[in-house]
Structure 1
Amino acid sequence: MTKSAALVRVTLAYLVAFAVAAAWLAWGPETRWLWLDTLIADVLATGVIFAFSRAHSNSSFYDAYWSVVPPAIVVFWWASSDTSADDVRAWLVTGVVFLWAIRLTGNWAYGWPGMHHEDWRYPMLRDKAGRYELVVDFAAIHLFPTLQVFLGTVPVYVVLTRSGHDVGWLDVVATVVGLGAVAIELVADVQLHRFVRQRQPGQVMDRGLWSWSRHPNYFGEIGFWVSLALFGVAASPSDAWWLFAGSVAMLAMFLGASIPMMEERSLERRPNYQDVVDRVSKLVPRPPRKRVA
């Protein structure tokens, strides 16, 4: 199957998932809370993507869900809100979300080679699960990321459904952090794609942003979710104690799972990567250490 045909199938899967979610929101029983209605629709859509993943034996059907769904959720919340949210703050946070989504989805579409490719972590998780691989495929690869992204997006719900404080300096900080995070991810993507095209056997990436951080893309991703939390605090300072839950969960996932798995694989496949580990910061960018003679 060509890459174009594969992308068509993935697009079809997402259209069906969105249709199921929309049908639930239009005709399903309502709860007392808009956020809960949205979460149920989000989980149902995840179930559709899971069904396509199983039908095609490729859980990478889910990969784009991470970035495709938040803009749809944000638009739905804003359109459904009965509260007069601050238009300037709402436009700012929505703009940051859409820029982030366009960049991340575009990077996935550019880098995904087609239906023959599946993220290497997925079969590893399924193989370790043994007879419970179906449960792990749904819960760990599909449902858990959906819940995590939803939690990270909840600060936007606060922005769009409450009459918050006037736009102020914290909104400026949130916008700068969000745009800066997207810019870091974009630059890191471009540099990595260029390196992959030109690299020699055994060569490791340690140039550009990647010479200051071993995972600048993850650093930018965390920064994006922090920016959403900052927008939420700007709208409702009294809720600051819980609005960072999503960004903290993202940080825990990257530090506790994603980065260790990537590091272990890189060390197994490229022994020279140990030199990068010794010199370059794991996550937060800083000047690299000098090589030891």
Structure 2
Amino acid sequence: MAGRTRDFFAVALAYAAGLVVAAAVLGAGLLAPPFDALLADVAATAVVFGFSRLYRNSSTYDPYWSVIPPLLALYWYAAGGPVDGLRAWCVIGLAWLWGIRLTANWAVHWGGMGHEDWRYPLVRQKAGRAAVAADFAGIHLFPTLQVFLGCLPVYAVMRFGTAPFGWLDVVAFAVTLGAIAVETLADLQLHAFIARRTPGSFIQSGLWAWSRHPNYFGETAFWWGLMLFGLAAAPDRWPWIVPGALAITVMFVFASIPLMEQRSLERRPAYAAYRARVSALVPLPPKRA
């Protein structure tokens, strides 16, 4: 327990330093919104990357995905103009609910500094002499830019959302809250299974009987929900509201899922039959064997 507490303190120190630097960048006013927040986001990412190198563990970055969006929502609300308050606070509340849940899930199941995501060493090994650059660009900066892009609908809500709360906001609220519920249930089912699993087995029950990656489905749906809020607030700004959710979905479908699938196929002989029977992402009734 003492070692785990020490490790949490180390991660907290990295994030505190990153937030201090981000606040300094924002205070300097070097760029106009929303690019000022992007610059601060990248600066904080660079600080966390520095701590990742210091700790020799790139999983130091893992909670960054869920920590920054709620803070961006509050910052943009505080810095924004007159907007529909109900929509703004719905987005803030949902962003914080999602962020707290996802960060708590990481904290409860994190293995400490002795554990690093198995994918990160692969990135560095494939990069060879450019391992450090690949670590920064691929493991740290790329997700930061994706998440920031996914958060632009939140900026639209806080800066341009003068349209009254309407039916699309109701749909957006239902999609976003439902996504959080799906992701929560999928994670609870997964960790309950892991606690009692036998070697070579894998979860095929609950939501996992309808989707091979229901947690990923919940995550992508969350960003689609934010996108709908953005469209409800400022439909004329759709060219930069829509791409974030699309980019995050593409990442899961063409990068995260294939990588996880390959690992499962190599380690679990029965996974191929499960893969042929169950939908990859969207929960659907399984095919008959």
Q: Give the TM-score normalised by the residue count of structure 1.
A: 0.96
5+ residue gaps, structure 2, are none
* 1:1-293 matched pairs, under 5 angstroms: 2-26=3-27, 28-31=28-31, 33-81=32-80, 83-291=81-289
Q: CA deviation at 1:162?
A: 1.4
Contact persistence 2:146–2:248 (CA under 8 A): yes
Q: CA deviation at 1:275?
A: 1.7
Moved more, 210-219 or 269-278: 269-278
SS in 2 for 1:198: coil
Q: CA deviation at 1:103?
A: 1.1
SS in 2 for 1:2: helix
5+ residue gaps, structure 1, are none
Decide whether aligned partners of structure 1 residues 284 and 163 sit closer, same or farther in structure 2, where only a CA change above 3 A counts.
closer
Contact persistence 1:164–1:234 (CA under 8 A): no
Distance 1:19 1:55 in 2: 18
Distance 1:286 1:115 in 2: 38
SS in 1 for 2:269: coil
Contact persistence 2:152–2:240 (CA under 8 A): no
Identity %: 53
Q: CA deviation at 1:245?
A: 0.3
Contact persistence 1:215–1:282 (CA under 8 A): yes
Deviations 1:102-129 (A, max 9, x none): 1111111111111010000000000000
Post-superposition, which runs of at least 4 consecutive aligned residues in structure 1 deviate over 4 A? none
Contact persistence 2:220–2:248 (CA under 8 A): yes
Amino acid paired to 2:179: A
Amino acid paired to 1:278: A
Decide whether aligned partners of structure 1 residues 125 and 163 sit closer, same or farther in structure 2, where only a CA change above 3 A counts.
closer
Decide whether aligned partners of structure 1 residues 163 and 124 sit closer, same or farther in structure 2, where only a CA change above 3 A counts.
closer
Contact persistence 2:156–2:241 (CA under 8 A): no
Contact persistence 1:67–1:105 (CA under 8 A): yes
Deviations 1:135-182 (A, max 9, x none): 100001000000000000000001001142110000000000000000
Q: CA deviation at 1:29?
A: 4.0
Distance 2:9 2:271 in 1: 37
Distance 1:232 1:163 in 2: 8
Distance 2:161 2:241 in 1: 16
Distance 1:198 1:288 in 2: 24
Contact persistence 2:183–2:218 (CA under 8 A): yes
Distance 2:25 2:239 in 1: 32
Q: Give the TM-score normalised by the residue count of structure 2.
A: 0.98
SS in 1 for 2:162: coil
Amino acid paired to 2:42: V
Deviations 1:59-100 (A, max 9, x none): 00000000001111111111111x101100001111111111
Q: How many residues align?
A: 288
Distance 1:104 1:53 in 2: 20
Q: CA deviation at 1:189?
A: 0.5
Amino acid paired to 2:68: V
Amino acid paired to 2:8: L
Contact persistence 2:168–2:232 (CA under 8 A): yes
Distance 2:161 2:123 in 1: 44
Amino acid paired to 1:75: L
Moved more, 177-186 or 195-204: 195-204
Q: CA deviation at 1:240?
A: 2.6
